[in-house]
Amino acid sequence: MAVATVTGNLYLVAGSVVMGVAAAIASWLPGRDWAGLVARYWARGLLVTGGVRLRLDYAGGDRKAWRASTAGRPLVYMANHRSLYDVAALLAILESPVRFLTKRSLFRVPGFGWGLKAAGFVPVDREDRSRAGETFAVAGKLLGSNVSLVVFPEETRSSGPRMKPFRRGGFLLALKGRAPVAPVGIRGTGRIRRKGALVVRPATVEVFFGEVMDPASVGVRGRRTFMQDVERRVGELADLGTAGEGDG
């Protein structure tokens, strides 16, 4: 734990600055998604220096079979959120091209914010909801360009036995962009590094990918049910309750 705390924190600071600069430079290079590749290696480095191991599970079989079931379409991944290591785990394993919806304040972090912008991550302003249209326009354009998106519908990190209520923004993106939703449950990241703490505890993180859910056939009246179904499925995969369980 002591070694992971030292190496993990050093990498988080120094590695993030280096990643930001490298991604900014890479974004000017033609050909591959170089900036996205830099971001992926940053995520893998964060996992390694923190002593974090991953175990992956895909509905219906292995990764290849699961991805084949999506017919190669861009997806909107929806996952629970407990830690920075949720981001690192998904960024390290999801195939490119993929971008995250990320809180706008992180774009103001020197070095790291440069990398987010260069890699094409989508800023989300939780303080000023009037900018939602700008976020939707950028995210919708990415989906239209065959780029998958990662959304944490809780928006902020949760703790305890239940997730926070899912916000509808990611669902509206999927509906408008006609993109299937991939429910993802992440277990074990909450105990690696607690919010506000410096201690890094090595652990095995489990990432469960559920069957893809297509909103294409969902009418206006069925949107709420679809949202509830996705939220419930993410909760099952993450072994967490939903915000509404036990109400009434």
> CA-CA distance, 61 to 93, in Å (whole number)?
17
CA 181-192-184 angle, 5° bins: 10
Task: Tally the residues of the chain.
Answer: 248
Q: Which residues touch 74 (CB under 8 Å, ≥6 apart)?
A: 142, 143, 146, 147, 148, 149, 177, 179
Half-sphere exposure (Cβ direction) of 120: Cα atoms closer than 13 Å: 25
pLDDT at residue 232, rounded to an integer:
96
| pLDDT in 10s for each residue of the chain, 248 residues | 899 999 999 999 999 989 888 988 988 888 788 888 999 999 999 999 999 999 999 998 888 888 888 877 899 999 999 999 999 999 999 987 899 998 888 888 877 787 888 888 998 877 766 677 888 888 999 999 999 999 999 988 888 899 999 998 899 899 888 899 999 999 999 999 987 789 999 999 999 999 999 887 776 667 889 999 999 999 999 999 998 775 54
Fold for domain 2-238?
Answer: Glycerol-3-phosphate (1)-acyltransferase (3.40.1130)
Residue 111: both structure tokens together: 């070095």
pLDDT at residue 248, rounded to an integer:
46
In DSSP terms, 132 is beta-bridged to none
pLDDT at residue 59, rounded to an integer:
92
pLDDT at residue 32, rounded to an integer:
83
> CA-CA distance, 81 to 209, in Å (whole number)?
15
In DSSP terms, 52 is beta-bridged to 203
Which 3 state secondary structure label does DSSP give 61?
strand
Of residues 234, 193, 191, the one with CA closest to residue 210: 234
Please state the domain extents for the chain: 2-238
